[in-house]
Structure 1
Amino acid sequence: MNQLIYFVIIGLGIGAVYALAGLGVVTLFTGSGLANFAQGDLMVLGALVAVSVTSAGHGYVAGLLAAVAVVAVAGVLLGALFTLPMRHRRMDVDVVIIGTLGVATTMTTLAGIWWGRQPQRLDSPLAGVFVPVGEMRVPAHYVLLLVGAAVVFGLVRWFHRRTDIGLQLRAVASSVPAARDAGVRIGRMLVVAWTIAALVGGVAGVLVASVLPIAPESALPLGVNGFAAAIIGGLANPAGAVLGGLVVGLAETLAGGYLNDTVRQSVAPLVLLVVLVLRPGGLLGRARGARTV
């Protein structure tokens, strides 16, 4: 029983990272109709920037702030210089989505050139700190993952519900024509959606880099699991992305703990397949199609 509780806590911690990855995917999808294949790369970018800053002798908080600043700029650039021109040319949304795959490949390549291919771990003040849970001691990092994910989700939810820009984003998510008729600048909201998705991904990358070594190639599994979390929970539902991430993290950890690593790597696609067959709209969503940007 103690081992099961341990695996559950670890799984929830890892699932919290997948939840944030999924939240970034959902944020961009609801704000633009785009599925972003570069979400995992934004996570890796945030992680490696934080590693560079802390390796230079600065603290964890400085690394987090630097990561947030860099990924925010990346989000603005991706929205303004990549997606907006495609929108102005009225390109099909599928073409833009495939374009994000090209962005992901480019970011992975550039990260490999700049940081190298060797996995790196982020130094954290919680290294060697454990939290007692009954008769066990759980690494405090995994508790930080849960707390960090909860804070980020709360901030994103507050932003969408309590700020003017957030309300405009919700209007775009509900109906682009109606939002446009109400005076919402759709292009501006597209850039905002990219920026929020990048920020969420960057913070998730910093959090996970304290427990898992991160390399440029880590973008693919992180991005895939983020997509799985978003689709499992419901692609248009932020809370669904959180639920989906926790489900994937728990399933992966339990499979790896009780079976083997090969099975663990197959869990996310398997869970995704089962959900798509039984509930195509996701656990907390409903079936819907992507819009044009």
Structure 2
Amino acid sequence: MARLLHGRPLAERIKRETRTRAERLGARDIRPQLAIVGVGGDPAAHSYVQRLERSAADCGIQTMGGFMPRDTTEQQLNTHLERLSMDRTVNGILLLTPLPGALDEAHVIDHIAIAKDVEGMHPFNMGFLADGRPRFVPSTADAVVELLKFYDVPLEGAHAVIIGRSTVIGRPAAYLLLAEDATVSIAHRGTRALEKLTQIADIIVVGVGKPGFLTGAMVKPGATVIDAGINMTPNGLAGDVELESVASVAGALSPVPGGLGAVTAALLLRNVLTATERQTT
């Protein structure tokens, strides 16, 4: 049976460090503030924001903003992000994605100030990450590598297969693992015979938004599996891993829920502190 890589212990450690840094800023009468911006928003998104706000308050970080109407135009959203970017009381901006309708996410992100892009979505920050000089890193991708390190999973020389090439998980996780001297393969919808690739992987990271996508038959015995999927199903929250079959083969597995989620939020808030320190030094 696979060892479960729970995220809570790591998240609590990161939050303690963040809280200490916030207290040092507070001694200088500086209060870090995160602006959260969403459009529309389903119940799951609202629930996520509420949890994030509670975690932020626990770390000494103020939050503001929320959800704009679903019929918000791209120009209205861009103008709002530009206002927040110029607001000296705002230290970090989180744009909740995916955006609804015809809103062009790639173009909208350009309107977030680079120094406040705490989710590392701006092309400038993506470029620094690709160049091996990360500034702000997408928090879910960062959580993948931080969780592996926390549980002492060997990365140097390991063959890591990442299923999914999104700009929030797949690609940035690949850059981070390359920086740890892992050998990285990225699989996507055009990959043929995916199971032949995953069956020789020491580490598998899956984030495609399909419950039960990765099965035990696709996993090498003893491999480490990181489930970065978040799916709402009739039975509740589920990841992209078929838990029962994968747990019987893998050596270690991050569960959903209970794996990356708490770490992702803690790393995002740590980025808010980093942004605040850079802006006030």
Q: TM-score if structure 2 supplies the norm length? A: 0.22
Higher RCO structure, 1 or 2 (CA under 8 Å, sep 6+): 1
Structure that is richer in helix per residue: 1
Structure that is richer in strand per residue: 2
